[in-house]
Structure 1
Amino acid sequence: MDKRAAIPVTLPRSDPTRSYWQLDPDGIADLRSTDSLPDEADVVIIGSGITGAAVAFNLLSNGTRNIVMLEARQACSGATGRNGGHTKAATYGSFLDHERQYGIATAVKIARLELANIRAVHAFAKEHGIDCDSNHCDTVNIVYDPVQWEQSLHGVKAMREAMPDGDAPVYTIHSAEEAREKFFCGRGGDEGVCGAISYEAGSLSAYKLVIGLLKLCLEKGLNLQTHTPALGLEKIEGGGWKIETNRGSICAKKVVLATNGYTAHLWKKFQGVIVPLRGHVTAQRPGMNMPKEGLPVTYSFIYKEGYDYMIQRPKGSKFEDDIVIGGALMKGFEGGLEEYGTTDDTVFDGIIIEALHESLPRYFGDSWGVDNPEGRLRLAWTGIMGYSPDGLPFVGEMPGEKDLWVSCSFQGHGMVLCWMCARALVTMMEGQGKEEELKKLDSWFPEIFKITEERMRLTFHGRLH
């Protein structure tokens, strides 16, 4: 793993695999708000995914103007525009680890943030009329490994005791037989179901959500510059930063790195600290025996070596009823080792794609039936995520570097972390000298998410949780 983490992080590749969510690129995909790059800005945000867009929206809503956003490729072409469409936390799976390492109060705070993030994302889409196929629904974890099943039950029990009421996830435990009957799994296929746990989650097109959010930002004055990769950062004597791009340089009072798995390319101190990891996703047509009314929930399938995650496209959406399933990392060569450290989303691992392709008839068995006459696989693609040594995001001002701000490294769970982390980052950026605002932030934002020199010295050993 040391060798993989040491691979120099590059810029995003110019010709990535085509994402299912971007088969019809939006009209702002290649937008440059101004023909030339401005000479200066109050804030430069690097990255146009959910983090960059959410930071921009919060800053603009609070009155900041003269914000420039730089994107290396098309708008929202990174991890956000390439994910599996899930707004799902697996909080009970990490709760006991967080409690052991950081204490019960912090574990509870993380759990509440993740649930609040899911609710906030879907509520925002509804409030602003963003057509992103938002489906705020339940999810189920189908567990096949006895050891993980026992650990899951312990995690749920601990959360129920620690969070008896208030903003806490509500878990329902299902026996193996209930899982087979209610969720169409485990008959005529992989029948080794130990049980299942269902709870609140959702699905959406993160690409369409963020495109809608960027349009709101453009209305508020955001200057978006796509196909403008940031090549380097240089401190300006007296304050501020100079950002070099392929189209010249721009000076900013503040810089926000919303660059997730690519962060170490711009700021070398993150090399080996935020490690890229390539994820694989497929879109598949449902088998002919699958419920015509659609599946009632989203899914994760948890087995000894790892997990897969899955949503079904809602009625009325393009390619309705398609099943989007990703994961299978551990099915790759040497447990997916070669997926770490790479920023190459132009190709995929054939072993992992084959594992995903073969997974659905096995999970659903008799409920799958024969394949759709048009074929099972519609599309496969990859995307680059960012992982940290302690399994937590980095949020805050870069230690020792004034006005260089970071919100990165979301462990493949950005859709349940990025929104609230962006809100927290903006509070930090605007809260200097505003003790009351910072005190409110500390009431809900985990201190351990904040970037520190101590965390920057940790060694990466692989994906956690």
Structure 2
Amino acid sequence: MEARAQILPSLPVPNSTSSCWQDPPSAIHDLRSTEELPSSADYVIVGGGISGAMIAWNLLEKSKDARVVMLEARGAVSGATGRNGGHTKAASYRTFPDHAQHHGMSQALKIARLEFDNIRATHSIARELGFSCESRPCDTVDIVYDAQTFDAGVKAINMMKGNLTSEECLDGCGQYRIYGPEEAAERFHVDIEGYNGEKVAGAFEYEAGSISAYKFTSNILQCCLDRGLNLQTHTPVLGIIPCAAPDQQDHTSSPPPRWLIQTARGTIATPNVILATNGYTAHLLPTLQSLIVPLRGQITAQRPGTRLPQGGCLSTTFSFIYKTGYEYMITRPQTTPFPGDIIIGGGLGRLPPDAEVGEYGTCDDSSLNPQLSRYLRDCTKAYFGSHWGKDDPAGRVRKEWTGIMGVTGDGLPFVGQVPDADGLWVSAGFNGHGMVLALKCAEALVGMMLGEEISDWFPDCFRISQERVERLREIGFKGRKGMSVSEGPEGSR
């Protein structure tokens, strides 16, 4: 694993697979706001996924006259955000005990609240601005196939409830319903024996949702364009270098540039550069090599079986959790182009150890892992059993694709100003958890940049610091620590 973590990330490959969400591409997919690259800007954001879009959104909301440029290596929203699994799902109970042990109860509670608030804010924005993006707040269920994992989940949920407010337990991030095996199988239309005869041990139901992150983020970017964002697609950043010290006699009102952003189309000078590059971050910031490691995830879109209720438009989203991993699954709502289609990803825990390790350190989302293709195709019928029925005459799999996540050694993102690098900011390393972290992390990052007080709600353990960097280097990179059951390319939720 350490050897894979030491592989230097590449730029995004030009010939990536295409997700179901990106068909058809958005109107801004190939947009360049200006024919020529601006020579300077107040802020340059590198990366046009959910993180970059929400950073631009907050900057343009709070600094209305700011000159903001966004650089994207491929088309708009072409990275992990545009190829995730459609979930807005936190599964906060899964990591809560670990967060409490290593960061303290106060930080664990802030993380759980931030994740929950992030989910509600995402769907609230989509609703209030009238986005057409398949936004569906709904419950989710974790079907658990291992007794020890189920028992640990019950203890974790009780631990959360014991430390949250009564209001949060009734209508918030502490509201969970627990089911035994028979009730879970009947209520959620799954076979009690599951994949390879693994029996259902129980289930947990709680608030989550599903959404097309591609359409949501494309809409956010359009709002930013209307406010003055300069978007430059197909403009990969080749390097970021410090500017020479400014002339002390220069008393202009604008902050002097600190950084030069180098591209094949020219160079931009800016006092502030923000890396919203997730798994690719170390390509431009080698100091984070082995601290944010690329991990390739795989997802399929499948036509539902003939016996699934409501034509496959199930009332909840799903995760299927077993001893070594999990899958995450949504079904597309009735009003979408392919109602009832199943979007399911994961399967890393089913790979042999050497094969799983091989998915780390790669930035190649142009190819598929054939072992995962076979497994993801077969597992849906196994999980639903007699409730599946016959396959669609056109075949089970409609489309499959890969995407690149960014995984950190402690399972937490890096948010803030890079140590000893004034004006160089980062919001990255979401551990497949981006759709329940990136929106609020973007809000926090912009707050840091503008000198706002955010410590009352933002977890200090998310901040990038020299101490944290050194601690993680000493520990070494171990793999999927802290990844939630909503694992997938940029929060495949």
TM score, norm. by length of structure 1: 0.97
Moved over 4 A (4+): 187-191
Query: 1: CA distance between counterparts of 2:60 and 2:123?
Result: 21
Q: Contact 1:189/1:366 (CA < 8 Å) preserved in 2?
A: no
What's the counterpart of residue 249 of structure 1? 267
Matching residue of 1:301: 320
Conservation of the 8 A alpha-carbon contact between 1:281 and 1:327: yes
Report what 1:170 is aligned to. Answer: 175
2:381 maps to what in 1? 361
Secondary structure in 2 aligned to 1:233? strand
| 8 Å Cα contact 2:193-2:200 kept in structure 1 | no
Q: Distance in 1 between matches of 2:67 and 2:110?
A: 34
User: Is 1:345 aligned to residue 362 of structure 2?
Assistant: no
Matches within 5 A, 1:32-181: 32-64=32-64, 65-167=66-168, 168-181=173-186
Contact 2:194 2:200 in 1 (8 A): no
Residue identity in the other structure for 1:246: A
CA deviation after TM superposition for structure 1 residue 189, in Å: 4.8
Give the corresponding residue for 1:222. Answer: 229
Task: Return the offset for 1:18.
Answer: 1.1
In structure 1, what is the Cα distance between the partners aligned to 2:282 and 2:429?
11
Letter in 1 for 2:356: G
- The whole-number CA distance in structure 2 between the counterparts of 1:387 and 1:63 is 31
Shift of 1:305: 1.3
> One-letter code of the match for 1:348?
L
Alpha-carbon contact 2:192-2:200 (below 8 Å) kept = no
The Cα of 1:165 is off from its aligned counterpart by: 2.2
| Alignment partner, residue 489 of structure 2 | none
Moved more, 162-171 or 418-427: 162-171
Residue 10 of structure 2 is matched in structure 1 by: 10
Q: Secondary structure at the match of 1:40?
A: coil
After TM superposition, list the pairs within 5 Å mapping 1:190-339 onto structure 2. 190=195, 192-237=199-244, 238=246, 239-292=257-310, 294-334=313-353, 336-339=356-359
Alignment of 1:455 with 2:472, yes or no, is no
Tell me, in whole angstroms, the C-alpha distance in 1 between the residues paired with 2:319 and 2:308. 17
Deviation, structure 1 residue 8: 1.2
Residues 444-463 of structure 1: per-residue CA shift (max 9 Å, x gap): 00000000112222121111
**Where in structure 2 are there 5+ consecutive unaligned residues?**
247-256, 483-493
Structure 1 residues 260 and 189, CA gap change in structure 2 (3 angstroms): closer
Residue 377 (structure 1) aligns with: 397
- Runs of 5+ unmatched residues, structure 1: 432-436
SS at match of 1:201: strand
Tell me by how many angstroms 1:41 deviates. 0.4
CA shift for structure 1 position 188 = 7.0
Amino acid at match of 1:93: R
Q: Percentage identity across aligned positions? A: 51
- Give the length in aligned residue pairs: 458
The CA distance in 1 between the partners of 2:467 and 2:399, in whole Å, is 42
Correspondence for 1:434: none
Q: 1:360-439 to 2 correspondence within 5 Å? A: 360-431=380-451, 437-438=452-453
Distance 2:314 2:25 in 1: 28
Deviation of residue 90 (structure 1)? 1.3
What is the root-mean-square deviation of aligned Cα atoms in Å? 1.1
Aligned to 2:21: 21
Q: Take 2:49 and 2:372, find their aligned partners in 1: how far apart are those partners?
A: 25
Structure-1 separation of matches of 2:193 and 2:90: 29
Q: Deviations over 1:159-208 (max 9, x none)?
A: 11011424433000011111111100125754600000000000000000
Aligned counterparts of 2:62 and 2:322: Cα–Cα separation in 1: 45
Residues 300-346 of structure 1: per-residue CA shift (max 9 Å, x gap): 00001100000000011111110000000122342511000000001
The answer (yes or no) to whether the contact 1:332–1:349 under 8 Å persists in 2 is no
Which deviates further from its counterpart, 320-329 or 57-66? 57-66
**Cα pair 1:11 1:262 within 8 Å, conserved:** yes
Between 215-224 and 174-183, report the one with greater CA deviation: 174-183
2:415 touches 2:441 (CA, 8 Å); kept in 1? yes
Measured against aligned partners, the alpha-carbon deviations of 1:79-111 in whole angstroms (never above 9, x if no partner) come to 100100000011101101111111111111110
Distance 1:333 1:327 in 2: 14
Shift of residue 352 of structure 1? Answer: 1.1
Question: Residues 208-260 of structure 1, C-alpha deviation per residue, up to 9 Å, x if partnerless?
Answer: 00000000000000000000000100111234110001211111110000000
Cα distance in 2 for partners of 1:187, 1:461 equals 33
Is this contact kept in 2: 1:187–1:366, CA < 8 A?
no
Mapped contact 2:134–2:212 kept (Cα < 8 A) = yes
Task: Give the counterpart letter for 1:183 in structure 2.
Answer: F
Amino acid at match of 1:462: G
Residue in 1 aligned with 2:486? none
Q: Secondary structure at the match of 1:16?
A: coil
Distance 1:53 1:252 in 2: 19
Post-superposition Cα deviations, 1:413-433, rounded to whole Å, max 9, x if no partner, equal 0000000000000000001xx
Paired amino acid for 2:299: V
Aligned counterparts of 2:291 and 2:381: Cα–Cα separation in 1: 38
Deviation larger for 180-189 or 2-11: 180-189
Matched residue type, 1:165: S
Output one character per residue of 1:354-397: Cα deviation in whole Å (capped at 9) or x when no partner.
Answer: 11110111000000011011100001100000011111000000
Code of the aligned partner of 2:297: G
> Deviation digits for residues 12-67 of structure 1, max 9, x if unmatched?
00000111110100111000000010110010000000000000010001124210
Amino acid at match of 1:143: V
Secondary structure in 2 aligned to 1:12? Answer: coil
